[in-house]
């Protein structure tokens, strides 16, 4: 043990040297950039300049000037559509989705805005990485670790209940196979980080619900819900759409999940050390490293058919990085968060939802399909709302806060935009499944069109009315009158109330954090 401790101290002192740390950070940036670019282009890792046919995109030409120009035009148009939608008090994603639907259903536009399927897949994956990074940066690991009972209970119970309800409803109402009904449920029930996460970040900035940590609880609930649904979707898809034995597939997926968790922890630990917190251009290095590493692991694992591990690794890496960076200097973490917010708002969101809208062919749509899909969506939302209210009855939150929690779990957008096209792509070789997958894609787009604008408006409106703003003067009296019943226990973890925003005098009394 003594030798191990000495080795650890030696390595720590060596890499903590300012020049060594700077050189190592630069090398890591170039390595992560190289891997992310290689995975984005789908090229050979060891010999990317080799003259060969790309196995991922063998039937289509590689990224061309035309594809880049089309993406640029779509991006500019998407930004304007998002601005117009926001001016109309609608979510920006609604305008981008509507623009994609218009492009798809006008022949002239549909023929012009065409790019290879592999490029579209990469656009969706990069956009997914951006929201995963924002989601991870907003997740409080300490809070989730110390107060996991309510988030895990609400996330799992309500998700499982809605999955069962939507599976039964889609099987009987949409008349699709039982297996595809499960896929339909997993896609339709996943809560959207694109709507919920920005709303919770806004509430945290305004200190709404801060005393009971309502925004942190909701972010943790979304984390549990998304992880459960996405992992189940990926594992089930690997079982259904491969010829390998089921037992072997399950073991490989379980191993990939463990590997993803370990990889995320290791990558997060590396980002704790590189760059040093007092190094010049710390924010640039952190932004670049975090983004390129997450893109590399998400897309790389997708290409080798184990995307579940990449999803977990990216989320854990982002959350672990935020935990340490917040301790180093909160202002620098805010710079990283604001940068990824800008990237999401200006690049990822417009392209992601335009691509989703371009999958929506109105010529194959009938009013009967629309009403049937809406019925399935409504059943799922109703079951989710009822379960949230029932599960939170014995918690420390009051009725108004229960309404906010329920509303935060109803928007659908981000994962529907990625999982539904992915399912359609995987089901293409199977004619029967492809027909059901096309119907599920329509249901997913309708769920985004309906739930994203409605519940985005309701969540921000109701949240500002129902959540109380933190007042340091009233905190002792409020804490004294709290009902200490917490879920199924008789005592509530005091950290829920102790971990409130600090007053100015409390902040000044703590150890001074160096500002740089």
- pLDDT at residue 54 greater than cutoff 60: no
- C-alpha distance from residue 438 to each of 101, 361, 441 (Å): 15, 10, 5
The band of 4, judged by pLDDT with boundaries at 50, 70 and 90, is low
Residue 307 three-state SS: helix
Q: CA separation (Å) from 366 to 97, 362, 449?
A: 19, 8, 16
Q: How far apart are CA 207 and CA 75, in angstroms?
A: 34
Tokens of 283: 């924010």
pLDDT in tens, 279-323: 878 889 999 999 999 999 999 888 888 888 888 999 999 999 998
What's the pTM? 0.81
Q: Where are the beta strands (DSSP E) in 20-104?
A: none
What is the rounded CA–CA span in Å between residue 123 and residue 125? 6
Answer yes or no: are the C-beta atoms of 35 and 296 closer than 8 Å: yes
Examine the pLDDT at 395 and tell me if it is beyond 90.
no
pLDDT for the residue numbered 174 = 93
Domains of the chain from N-terminus onward: 89-469 (1.20.1530.20)
Instruction: Locate all alpha helices (DSSP H) within 88-189, ordered by sequence.
Output: 92-105, 107-112, 117-138, 141-146, 149-173, 178-188
pLDDT single digits (tens) 205-252: 888 888 888 888 898 898 889 889 988 998 898 888 887 788 888 888
- DSSP, residue by residue, 309-352: HHHHHHHHHHHHHHHHHHHH-HHHHHHHHHHHHHHIIIIIHHHH
Q: How far apart are CA 223 and CA 352, in angstroms?
A: 21
Check if the beta carbon of residue 54 is closer than 8 Å to that of residue 99. Answer: no
């Amino acid at each position: 043990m003594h030798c191990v401790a000495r080795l650890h101290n030696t390595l720590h002192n060596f890499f903590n040297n300012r020049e060594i740390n700077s050189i190592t950070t630069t090398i890591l940036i170039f390595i992560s950039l190289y891997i992310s670019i290689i995975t984005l282009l789908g090229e050979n890792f060891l010999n990317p300049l080799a003259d060969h046919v790309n196995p991922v995109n063998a039937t289509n030409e590689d990224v061309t000037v035309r594809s880049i120009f089309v993406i640029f035009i779509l991006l500019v148009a998407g930004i304007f559509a998002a601005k117009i939608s926001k001016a109309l008090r609608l979510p920006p994603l609604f305008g981008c989705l509507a623009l994609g639907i218009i492009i798809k259903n006008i022949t002239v536009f549909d023929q012009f805005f065409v790019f290879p399927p592999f490029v579209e897949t990469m656009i969706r994956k990069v956009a997914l990485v951006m929201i995963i990074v924002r989601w991870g940066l907003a997740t409080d690991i300490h809070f989730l670790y110390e107060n996991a009972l309510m988030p895990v209970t609400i996330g799992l119970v309500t998700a499982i209940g809605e999955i069962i309800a939507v599976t039964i409803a889609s099987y009987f109402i949409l008349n699709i196979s039982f297996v595809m009904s499960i896929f339909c449920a997993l896609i339709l029930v996943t809560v959207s980080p694109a709507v919920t996460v920005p709303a919770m970040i806004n509430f945290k900035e305004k200190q709404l619900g801060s005393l009971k940590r309502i925004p942190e609880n909701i972010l943790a609930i979304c984390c549990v819900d998304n992880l459960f649904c996405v992992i189940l979707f990926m594992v089930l898809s690997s079982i259904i759409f491969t010829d390998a034995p089921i037992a072997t597939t399950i073991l490989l997926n379980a191993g990939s999940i463990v590997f993803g968790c370990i990889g995320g922890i290791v990558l997060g630990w590396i980002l704790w050390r590189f760059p040093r917190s007092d190094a010049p251009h710390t924010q640039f290095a952190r932004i670049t490293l975090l983004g390129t590493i997450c893109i590399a692991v998400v897309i790389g694992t997708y290409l080798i058919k184990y995307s579940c591990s990449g999803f977990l690794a990216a989320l854990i890496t982002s959350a672990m990085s935020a935990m340490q960076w917040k301790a180093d200097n909160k202002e620098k973490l805010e710079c990283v968060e604001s940068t990824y917010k800008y990237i999401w708002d200006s690049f990822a969101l417009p392209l992601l939802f335009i691509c989703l809208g371009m999958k929506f062919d109105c010529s194959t749509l009938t009013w009967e399909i629309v009403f049937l899909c809406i019925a399935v969506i409504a059943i799922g939302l109703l079951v989710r709302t009822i379960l949230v209210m029932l599960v939170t009855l014995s918690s420390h939150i009051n009725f108004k806060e229960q309404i906010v929690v329920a509303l935060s779990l109803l928007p659908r957008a981000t994962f529907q935009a990625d999982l539904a096209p992915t399912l359609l792509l995987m089901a293409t070789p199977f004619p029967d499944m492809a027909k059901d997958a096309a119907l599920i894609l329509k249901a997913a787009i309708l769920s985004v069109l309906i739930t994203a604008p409605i519940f985005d408006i309701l969540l921000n409106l109701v949240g500002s009315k129902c959540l109380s703003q933190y007042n340091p003067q009233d905190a002792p009296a409020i804490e004294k009158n709290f009902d200490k019943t917490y879920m199924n226990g008789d005592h509530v973890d005091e950290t829920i109330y102790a971990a409130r925003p600090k007053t100015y005098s409390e902040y000044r009394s703590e150890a001074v954090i160096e500002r740089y």
